[in-house]
Amino acid sequence: MDTSIEGLRVVVTAGGSGIGRVIAESFARAGARVHVCDIERRTLDELGAAEPAIGATLADVAEPREVDRLFDEALERLDGLDALINNAGISGPTAAVEDLAPSDWDRTMAVNVSGQFYCVRRAVPPMKRAGGGSIVNISSTSARTGLPFRVAYAVSKVAVLGLTHTLARELGPSGIRVNAILPGFVNNERARRVVREKAAALGQTPEAYERQLLEFISMRTMVEPEEIAHMAMFLCSPAGRHVSGQSIGVCGNMEHER
């Protein structure tokens, strides 16, 4: 099985921290040429100090002009594109639907859905010129389970699945495969923060809420960010050359979310 990604030209959005940084570093250490974006200069500086071979652009994917700048810089540096990891996303508000501010809804959709579209529209032309490529959209297990008090986030991640399945059909004839990864309960700081916020909304301690959450995961475990990176690498490698239009959970089988 050929899982080599040596020389692959890759853009990773929100690659300065969290899952995105783990993905970017994993690809780079496996020999890929990587360019990332992030909205925080500090995280990009920290990544650059640790991984100087990774290029970076300060950009908010919810802003089309900033996405244009990202891809102008990435394409100039990489001289083409083979893979896009559409990782940028925000957790959105934690609130009852009747208390949800329209501005919070709009911002969540702008980053999590429109941001992926803006990136895809710029990634597809160079992939077509290259004769094909791979797009990996990061969704969430919430897209299939629902997630009370996080309606903006959950709905945005359902939209990512629609984008994925539609693009797989549209771009397949051009040799571009499109898949979605659905991370579950990831062992990182962002997930811990969401646990704290959700526990507060439910009037529970974070520890109690985490125990309850694990009860609804078949394998009773969190997943590591590296596991998301490894799945993305597989999908972008020759071993994944005929995998397209799929929504792949990396979650220990999330049965339900509270």
Same domain as 243, residue 204: no
Same domain as 158, residue 77: yes
Same domain as 209, residue 143: no
Same domain as 148, residue 20: yes
Is 118 a catalytic site residue? no
**Residue from 249, 187, 189 nearest 224 by CA:** 187
Lowest mean pLDDT among 147-151, 193-197, 211-215, 221-225: 193-197
Q: What are phi and psi of 64, to 5 degrees?
A: -55, -40
Residue 217, domain member (yes or no)? yes
Q: What is the pLDDT of residue 132?
A: 98
Render pLDDT for 70-103 as a digit per residue (tens, 0 to 9). 999 999 999 999 999 999 999 999 899 999 999 9
Residue 61, domain member (yes or no)? yes
Same domain as 180, residue 80: yes
Q: Is the dihedral of CA 50, 63, 250, 245 positive or negative?
A: negative
Residue 3, domain member (yes or no)? no
Q: Which of 153, 185, 209, 234 is catalytic?
A: 153
pTM assigned to the model: 0.94
Q: Is 76 exposed, middle or buried (0-12, 13-18, 19+ CB in 10 A)?
A: exposed
Which tokens belong to 6?
């040596």
Same domain as 210, residue 98: no
Query: In terms of residue numbers, what domain contains 232?
Result: 9-184+223-250
Same domain as 89, residue 43: yes
Same domain as 134, residue 231: yes
Q: How many domains does the chain have?
A: 2
Same domain as 145, residue 101: yes
Tally of CB atoms within 10 A around 193: 12
Encoded amino acid at 180, one letter: A
Average pLDDT, the chain: 95
Same domain as 152, residue 24: yes
